Chain A
Amino acid sequence: NAGVTQTPKFQVLKTGQSMTLQCAQDMNHEYMSWYRQDPGMGLRLIHYSVGAGITDQGEVPNGYNVSRSTTEDFPLRLLSAAPSQTSVYFCASKPWGLAGDTDTQYFGPGTRLTVL
């Protein structure tokens, strides 16, 4: 299993540009989510999905779109990048509902995004 994979690892954008951060998992997890991590602010949930065709907003959804057409993929789209979106982005997945003794999320390696 590759687990949770993310591409790209690094990206530099100019203000107003658009891009898609890719996330894929091969563990057949129903639940997938996107977080952003900023210094001193921990991890904040952007959007999440509990299955193909189902998405919902987290704490900080503004400026981001998601879709879930397959169980494996959960891309995050920035339609018009802003400097405030400079951050490290983590995708995560987990089984829906109880999974044995733990309900842990498995994180991808992250994408470091800089918006100039």
Chain B
Amino acid sequence: GENVEQHPSTLSVQEGDSAVIKCTYSDSASNYFPWYKQELGKRPQLIIDIRSNVGEKKDQRIAVTLNKTAKHFSLHITETQPEDSAVYFCAASNYNTGNQFYFGTGTSLTVIP
């Protein structure tokens, strides 16, 4: 099955700086890569996703890049704010089969005011 690795496990940045979280996957058949944000005690919520036919996607201060050859994808948050502090999870799936989502182990992001 698919194996998703996520780094770093913890990340601290000053408010206004950028944050980058990286994930690698093992199954070349995976073609859908969502990112979830989970605040303490809350449910995971989708913040951005990308399909394998696209190399980059941006939504205001967040962006995701995908390198299919190297099998890695990254989340970029610019101009970080204290409310960006949360745990972020990457995941990989095959939307043709749509059966299983494989999650990374999470990155705890702290934005220091």
Contact = CB atoms under 8 A, between A and B. Distances in A.
Nearest to B6: A42
How big is chain B's contact interface, by range? 20 to 34
Interface string B1-41: 10000100100000000000000000000001010000000
A104 B93 CA distance: 10
A69 B9 CA distance: 39
B49 A104 contact: yes
B93 A44 contact: no
How big is chain A's contact interface, by range? 20 to 34
A74 B66 CA distance: 34
Contacts of A104: 34, 46, 49
B43 A90 contact: yes
B100 A103 contact: no
Contacts of B98: 31, 50, 94, 96-97, 103
Interface of A: 31, 33, 35, 40-45, 48, 50, 56, 58-59, 90, 94, 96-98, 102-105, 107-110
Interface of B: 1, 6, 9, 32, 34, 42-46, 49, 89, 91, 93, 95, 98-106
